[in-house]
Amino acid sequence: MAIRYPLDPAGADAAAVRDTLRARQRSLADEIAATRGTSEARGDEVLDQKDEATRREFNEIGDAEVARDVGELREIEAALRRLDEGRYGLCAACDAAIDPRRLQAEPFAVRCAACQTQVERGRRR
């Protein structure tokens, strides 16, 4: 049987999506903690200018990774809210159901593929 959107917040399909999203939340939280821990551990190892430049580069990469992970955490939190509200799986732009394959690949997707394409085209200009 195919999944139909929006999902019933109390249904088994919603529970499975909720579990998937929460598992990703835990994984991202662990990644953020590890990245921050690695950056802090490097702080006392600076010996010369080259080492200092390398440390700054690692910290900038770590900061970018943390920012990306925090952004994804926000998207997951929004998806969980949509799930609780009975709006999960509906496009925020056109209100059509989002293709289940898209949600399988990106469980926090907000828009259907057509609307997402339009948004991305607008960003490129």
In the chain, where the domains are located: 12-89
The single residue listed with the structure tokens 């919603």 is: 14
Residue 125 has pLDDT above 70, yes or no: no
Residue 47 is predicted with a pLDDT of 64
More confident residue, 3 or 32: 32
Specify burial of residue 101 (Cβ count, 10 A radius: 0-12, 13-18, 19+). exposed
The single residue listed with the structure tokens 């999902």 is: 7
Residue 41 has pLDDT above 70, yes or no: no
Residue 123 is predicted with a pLDDT of 81
Write out pLDDT tens, residues 44-86: 554 677 777 777 777 788 888 999 999 999 999 999 999 999 9
More confident residue, 96 or 35: 96
Mean pLDDT along residues 23-50? 77
Q: What 3-state class would DSSP assign to 7?
A: coil
Percent of the chain topping pLDDT 70: 90
Backbone angles phi, psi at 94, to 5 degrees: -120, -5
Residue 106 has pLDDT above 60, yes or no: yes
Mean pLDDT along residues 29-51? 72
Residue 116 is predicted with a pLDDT of 96
Mean pLDDT along residues 23-52? 77
